[in-house]
C-alpha cells in the first residue's frame, strides 16, 4: 500500500529556513516523479516543485531560488528545503506521487502546516 | 503561471448531475491532454478523480467523467450522492515542467 507521511512543519520567523520531509512506503521515491503542492489557509492548491526519476528539478516562479527539492534514496524520503521564508509561504504542504502516465498526482500525504510569522 | 478559472460553487440535488468548468489557455489546458481533477473533503488531502482529461483511476466511480474542448475542461458528476459534497480542483500540465491548479469549486448536494 502506498503511503506518504509529511513532517517538519511548524512556526517559523519570516526570513527563516525549514526542511520538510515526506517518508514514502509501498514504492520507491525514485520510481516516479514526486512533487510538493501547497495550500494556504482557506485557499486553493498551488504546485510548488517536482523532481523527476533522473533527478531533474523544477520550481514554481513563486519559490524559485528559495526552495530546493531533493530525495534520499536510502531513506526513501522526499525533502523540501525552504529558505528566506515569507508570510505568503504559510500553507499546508503536501507531497504527492506522480501517476505512471498522464502527468497527474496519484497519491498524496496528509500534509504538514508551515506558518511563517513576521 | 496564473490559476485556471473555475466557478466558486455548484450544486445539485441527490441523483442529479453537476458539471464544473475549468478554463485555462492554449499553454496549459488547451496545449496538452494532461488535465486532472481532484476531490478534497474538509481537512483532508486531495484525491485524484480524473487524469488525462477523461481517465478514472481504479476505485473512482464511473459517475465521475471528464472532457475537454479547446482551453476549457469539464468534470461531470452524475447521480450526485451526499459524499460527493466537497471541493474540486482541476489541474493542467503547463509546459516547461510546471503544473497549474484551478481556483476550486465547492460542490453542495442540496
Which member of A56, A104, A107 has the closest CB to residue B36? Answer: A104
What's the CA gap between A116 and A89, in Å, rounded? 7
Check residue B102 and report its DSSP letter.
B
For residue A101, the chain B residue with the least C-alpha distance is: B52
Residue A33: predicted pLDDT: 96
Residue A109: predicted pLDDT: 98
Residue A101: predicted pLDDT: 87
Query: Is the CB of B99 less than 8 angstroms away from the CB of A46?
Result: no
Task: Record the cell numbers describing residue A49, joined without a space.
Answer: 516543485
User: For residue B54, how many other CB atoms are within 10 A of its CB?
Assistant: 17
pLDDT by 10s per residue, chain A, length 118: 999 999 999 999 999 999 999 999 999 999 999 999 999 999 999 999 999 999 999 999 999 999 999 999 999 999 999 999 999 999 999 999 999 888 999 999 999 999 999 8
What's the CA gap between A112 and B45, in Å, rounded? 11
Q: Is B60 on the interface with A (CB under 8 A)?
A: no
Residue A118: predicted pLDDT: 85
Residue A102: predicted pLDDT: 86
Three-state secondary structure along chain A? CCEEEEECCEEEECCCCEEEEEEEECCCCCCCCEEEEEECCCCCEEEEEEECCCCCEEECCCCCCCEEEEEECCCCEEEEEECCCCHHHCEEEEEEEECCCCCCEEEECCCEEEEEEC
What's the CA gap between B94 and B31, in Å, rounded? 8
Return the closest-CA partner of residue B75 out of B1, B7, B14, B25. Answer: B7
Which member of A47, A50, A108 has the closest CB to residue B100? Answer: A47
Residue A113: predicted pLDDT: 98
Q: Which regions in chain B score pLDDT beneath 70? A: none
Computed over every residue of chain B, the mean pLDDT equals 97
Check: CB of residue A22 under 8 Å from CB of residue A78: yes
Amino acid at each position: 500500500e502506498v503511503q506518504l507521511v509529511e513532517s517538519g512543519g511548524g512556526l517559523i520567523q519570516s526570513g527563516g529556513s525549514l526542511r520538510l520531509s515526506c517518508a514514502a512506503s509501498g514504492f520507491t521515491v525514485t520510481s516516479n516523479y514526486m512533487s510538493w503542492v501547497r495550500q494556504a489557509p482557506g485557499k486553493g492548491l498551488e504546485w510548488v516543485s517536482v523532481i523527476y526519476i533522473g533527478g531533474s528539478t523544477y520550481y514554481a516562479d513563486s519559490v524559485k531560488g528559495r526552495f530546493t527539492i531533493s530525495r534520499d534514496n536510502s531513506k526513501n524520503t522526499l525533502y523540501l528545503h525552504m529558505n528566506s521564508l515569507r508570510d505568503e509561504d504559510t500553507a499546508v504542504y503536501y507531497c504527492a506521487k506522480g501517476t505512471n502516465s498522464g502527468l497527474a498526482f496519484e497519491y498524496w500525504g496528509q500534509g504538514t502546516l508551515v506558518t511563517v510569522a513576521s | 503561471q496564473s490559476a485556471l478559472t473555475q466557478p466558486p460553487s455548484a450544486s445539485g440535488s441527490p441523483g442529479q448531475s453537476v458539471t464544473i468548468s475549468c478554463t485555462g489557455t492554449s499553454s496549459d489546458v488547451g496545449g496538452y491532454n494532461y488535465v486532472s481533477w481532484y476531490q478534497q473533503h474538509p481537512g483532508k488531502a486531495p484525491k485524484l478523480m480524473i487524469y488525462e482529461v477523461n481517465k478514472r483511476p481504479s476505485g473512482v466511480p464511473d459517475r465521475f467523467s471528464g472532457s475537454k474542448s479547446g482551453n476549457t475542461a469539464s468534470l461531470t458528476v452524475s447521480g450526485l450522492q451526499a459524499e460527493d459534497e466537497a471541493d474540486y480542483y482541476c489541474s493542467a500540465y503547463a509546459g516547461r515542467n510546471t503544473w497549474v491548479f484551478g481556483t476550486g469549486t465547492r460542490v453542495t448536494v442540496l
